Amino acid sequence: MLTIAVHNQRQNQQFVHAGGPLEFGRGPQRRARRVLIEDLSVSRDHLRVEELPEGRVRLENLSTKKEIAVEGRPSIGIGACQELDLPLRLALGDTLIELKPEPGESFDTGTLLTVSVPLAGLSEARGFRPLSDLGEAPAPENLAHWLETVISLQRLPAGSGDFHEQTARALVDLVGLDQGLVLLRREEAWRAVACHPPADLAQTSFSRTLLTHVLQERRTFYQSLDSLPVRSESLGKVEAVVVSPIFGVEDEVVGALYGTRNWRGGPTDGIRPLQAQVVQLLAAAVGANLVRTLATRTRVQFEQFFSPELVRELERNPDLLEGRDQEVTILVSDLRGFTRMAQQLGPQTTCRLVRDMMERLTEQIARSGGVIVDYAGDGILAMWNAPTPQPDHAVRACRTALDMLAEMPALNERWQKVVGGLLELGVGINTGMAQVGNTGSSRKFKYGPHGHTVNLASRVQDATKKMGLPLLITASTRERLPAAFATRCVGQISLTGVAEPVALYELCGDTSTQP
């Protein structure tokens, strides 16, 4: 096994690689497992590493443009391959990669000491005696659990940029350790995000064996390391260590607080139970902060797509966002002649026009419970009947389209002189089955429909331009409308990208809304 560390301005992680080829680069994973490097100076495919017997590795330069610098040895040329002894320090652009053999770190888990299980690790709450019943100073277990409960209930507000640094400092100043680390875990890699006293995070070391044990047991462990039969390099000067898990939004272990007390050559009392409990308390605070930050980010993302009522429903039942096949009604709108207008008006006036129009049209969609899937320049893609059911979704969409068109006279009164003509909106509506769900990333939420139903709605909107009509719907939408909606068949129309002609109807009005 190999111990691998990756350090650059955006990454600082350490992990153990069990075996097999491992590639490094900016590009996506190909055949071998890959470590994605967030460094523009690194090639898309740059390095392949494969462990060999007797503490050696095979290094292959995958880049077609850049050599790989090796500390104390000649560089590995473009396309070249070398077999070298460990340990190694490599430079890929501005990224440093360290390769070491995984030390034979082992210990008897019976020598580990622990404290009470964190609240996040319990399947159900356990009873603890209230202060009034104790009559004297509470035991460390009770005190820590009371404080953890308060923190868990209050869910600390999203932390400032130095939240992790303050936590690492607390391990030293509050608990009395010599060094405090805040570690976060992503996939199989642990990375240090804060250290106190301040140090180069790229040079920090920690025992992955202890972290693995904490990960498996989901609880805090501490010990005096005198009992370890083998002391690895990462524990060389350490006399005692305490590690406490950080739990994420689903009570999964997403990190750890790691504190050490150094050996000074004399007698010591190691780490005490109360100190371990305080470390566990701090870990609970970090976890609560991460949960709150994620919840805040998720709410902001939801509010960009959904109404406040729907946001609250999704917070109660996030499974509604899972991908599924669902009948939906899709509305696509477009401002005719927008490209010409944008060239004529210039960027500032164009943005003001689009902002004014989108504000009015979006309000109509929101009033009917529609979801704004996307804005595309002057166009809108909206959807009904997902993520929550709306049995009258076709009615909602059609009524919204009529309300959107009713906004155009007021827009023209304000913009006609500026534009030099009338603003005209085209709207196409279609109902059918679509695949709906969140197809975005952790950085950007993207909920919406996919498939033929969406494509057909867009083609129907295109047809409004060719036919000179403001609002067209398909037969599948029309058959879901009550008689109060006035429609006119415009025929079987051939649409771009659609194999067979499609029956289209002009939606003329809704008599149920008239006085």
Averaged pLDDT, 340-351: 90
Position 120 scores a pLDDT of 58
Report the C-alpha gap between 328 and 28 in whole angstroms.
34
Residue 24 pLDDT exceeds 70 = yes
Tokens of 102: 């995984």
Who wins on pLDDT, 1 or 96?
Answer: 96
Tokens of 299: 């709410």
Listed by start position, the domains of the chain span 2-101, 109-299, 316-513
State in Å, rounded, how far the first CA of the chain is from the last one: 78
Other Cβ atoms less than 10 A from the Cβ of 41: the count is 14
Position 138 scores a pLDDT of 55
Position 191 scores a pLDDT of 82
> In Å, what is the CA distance from 212 to each residue of 17, 141, 216, 235, 438?
14, 24, 6, 15, 32
Q: What proportion of the chain, given as a percentage, has pLDDT over 70?
A: 77
**219 contact partners, CB below 8 Å, separation of at least 6:** 114, 115, 117, 118, 121, 245
Averaged pLDDT, 209-231: 73
Give the CATH class of 316-513.
alpha beta
Who wins on pLDDT, 314 or 287?
Answer: 287
Residue 205 pLDDT exceeds 70 = yes
Position 109 scores a pLDDT of 55
Report the C-alpha gap between 77 and 462 in whole angstroms.
55
Buried b (16+ CB within 10 A) or exposed e, 465-488: eeeebbbbbbbbbbebbeeebebe
Averaged pLDDT, 202-217: 82
**Is residue 429 helix, strand or coil?**
strand
Residue 202 pLDDT exceeds 70 = no
| Range 109-299: architecture per CATH | 2-Layer Sandwich (3.30)
**55 contact partners, CB below 8 Å, separation of at least 6:** 85, 86, 101
Confidence of residue 148 (pLDDT cuts 50, 70, 90): low
2-16, 46-60, 478-492, range with the lowest pLDDT? 2-16
Position 236 scores a pLDDT of 53
Position 167 scores a pLDDT of 82
240-244, 412-416, 439-443, 493-497, range with the lowest pLDDT? 439-443
> pTM for the complete prediction?
0.53
Confidence of residue 230 (pLDDT cuts 50, 70, 90): very low
Who wins on pLDDT, 212 or 88?
Answer: 88
> In Å, what is the CA distance from 142 to each residue of 147, 154, 156, 218, 248?
9, 18, 21, 19, 23
User: CATH classification of 2-101, choosing from 2.60.200.20, 1.10.1060.10, 2.60.120.200, 3.40.640.10?
Assistant: 2.60.200.20
Who wins on pLDDT, 370 or 113?
Answer: 370
Position 133 scores a pLDDT of 42
Q: What is the pLDDT of residues 260-306, one digit of tens each?
A: 887 665 555 567 787 888 888 888 888 877 777 776 666 666 666 66
Position 315 scores a pLDDT of 66
Confidence of residue 480 (pLDDT cuts 50, 70, 90): very high
Q: What is the pLDDT of residues 417-434, one digit of tens each?
A: 999 889 999 999 999 999
- Indicate the residue type of 118: P
Phi, psi of 169 (to 5 degrees): -65, -40
Who wins on pLDDT, 55 or 209?
Answer: 55
Position 265 scores a pLDDT of 58
